[in-house]
Amino acid sequence: ARTNLGYKTLHLHKGTINCLRTKHKTNTPNQPANQKQSSSMALSASHHFFFLFSLALVSVLLALPHPVVAQCKNPPVIFNFGDSNSDTGGLVAGLGFPVNLPNGRTFFGRSTGRLCDGRLVIDFLCQSVITSFLSPYMESLGSTFSNGANFAVVGSSTLPKYVPFALNVQVMQFLHFKSRSLELVTAGSGKSISDEGFRGALYMVDIGQNDLADSFAKNLSYVQVIKLIPSVLAEIKNAITVLYNQGGRKFWVHNTGPFGCSPQKLSLVQNHSHNLDTYGCISSYNAAAKVFNEGLLHICQEMRSEMKDATIGYVDIYSIKYDLIANSSRYGKFIKQLLDFFDI
């Protein structure tokens, strides 16, 4: 099944989760529909420097008169694989790495291990389908895995494939999680996820940005970074194929955002004034992101033809975020002030 979601069409597709339906309120006067739709997936933060920017995105999101309401008899099961864009505490649980305030200050009032001042995209998705936030797989205290698990960890990439916590390692953790869950179900545990739960679950994949960004950080040229992309995409396709062979049929794949606009990247790269676009973003970084995204869309299309009984949604995060930057004045003065502050 084909599902491509961009800033003009972003919504929770009815084929993504069996029981999921969407209700949309009538557009308010003088407010473009794509504004409401594009912002609903825009909130994420990939680094400590991004916490103010993410606060701005929260402000936009909470102001939208276009909520997504789920009508599910039972909360859906969700499994997430990725990096800091969707890590809800994996780094802290896995390595004991301190993630302190101001992370978490605007919603939780404390640090939760998210590199964000509030909630991430994965959190808003969970809320929209009326289920609890996903517990990090490696969090041993206070976790609830009845609605799935989050395998994402800050800094994760696809390569090298056996370095914690690469995508391949996250998938292996999932295989162990599934095996133990089914053992517990057989033993009579009513709280563990059943085989039916695994088959009906939504599998989210949001990774690849660190493969690109880390390569640039190692002073690889644009051409050298581009040459690495096919290997990165092959790892993503392999991960989804493994999940499919395990019974997964609903996939939600995020492309990578315009990381050349990240204040963190802009602060680390010296003498880049010749390499900036109209909006102050690093052109070569964003160009690499676009090449990656084109390849990711291509493998999603390939998998749709190979896995005909699966729904594979491709979410155009790049367009959503870049639209916020390019049209900041449309989305409110607060975002524009922050972009001006960061010289974006």
Contact criterion met (CB below 8 Å) for 147 and 77: yes
- List, for residues 50-73, the tens digit of each pLDDT value: 333 344 444 444 334 344 444 556
- What is 2-341's CATH number, 3.40.1010, 3.40.1350, 3.40.50, 3.30.60? 3.40.50
> DSSP alpha helices (H): ranges in 22-146?
33-39, 51-62, 90-95, 121-128
140 — pLDDT class (breaks 50, 70, 90)? confident
CA-nearest of 85, 116, 86 to 99 is 116
- List, for residues 78-133, the tens digit of each pLDDT value: 999 999 999 999 999 998 888 888 989 999 999 899 988 999 999 999 998 899 99
Task: Name the strands in the sheet holding 311-315, side by side, starting at the edge strand that comes first in the sequence.
Answer: 2-5, 311-315, 250-254, 202-206, 78-82, 148-150
329 — pLDDT class (breaks 50, 70, 90)? confident
Cβ neighbourhood burial of 271 (10 Å; 0-12, 13-18, 19+): exposed
Residue 229 has pLDDT above 90, yes or no: yes
CA pair distance 79, 44, nearest whole angstrom: 18
Helix (H, G, I), strand (E, B), or coil: what is residue 148? strand
CA pair distance 82, 254, nearest whole angstrom: 10
Total Cβ atoms within 10 A of residue 22 = 15
Q: Which long-range contacts link 267-276 to residues 24+ away (Cβ below 8 Å)?
A: 267/49, 268/217
| pTM of the complete model | 0.79
